[in-house]
């Protein structure tokens, strides 16, 4: 939520509530978004694999860290879709465009995963 008191530091209480709201959002995504659940399952398998396949701390950080933006973008895409659905299921060109762009953003993040994993791992097998 937006700060109602300007740009003052939140303090421990504000950080606590922000954490609760974030957890609430993660729970909602898990309950209502099958794509998010799939990406979490893939993360659960790919993260340890990245730790194992990385030869250096930098490689491990790249292989594992690149997985997080996919889930973050899926959360943003789901948020955009929820707002659009809030206004009704009827077709509107701009609503369709917004949903397609959100999906494309997730796709771009997935391509970044393939690029990083490919650039690190393919040379080892060639």
74 catalytic? Reply is yes
Q: In what helix (H) or strand (E) does residue 78 lie, and over which residues does it extend?
A: helix 68-86
**How big is the chain by its Cα radius of gyration, in Å?**
18
**Residue of 33, 74, 81, 90 marked active site:** 74
Question: Active-site residue numbers?
Answer: 74
């Amino acid at each position: 939520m937006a700060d109602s008191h300007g740009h003052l530091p939140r303090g421990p209480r504000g950080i606590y509530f922000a954490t609760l709201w974030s957890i609430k959002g993660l729970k909602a995504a898990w309950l209502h978004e099958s794509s998010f659940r799939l990406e979490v399952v893939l993360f659960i398998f790919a993260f340890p694999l990245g730790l194992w396949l990385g030869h250096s701390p930098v490689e491990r950080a790249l292989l594992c860290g690149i997985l997080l933006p996919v889930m973050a973008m899926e959360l943003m895409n789901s948020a955009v879709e929820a707002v659009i659905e809030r206004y009704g299921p009827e077709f509107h060109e701009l609503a369709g465009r917004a949903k397609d762009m959100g999906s494309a953003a997730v796709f771009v993040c997935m391509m970044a995963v393939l690029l990083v994993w490919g650039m690190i791992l393919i040379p080892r097998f060639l």
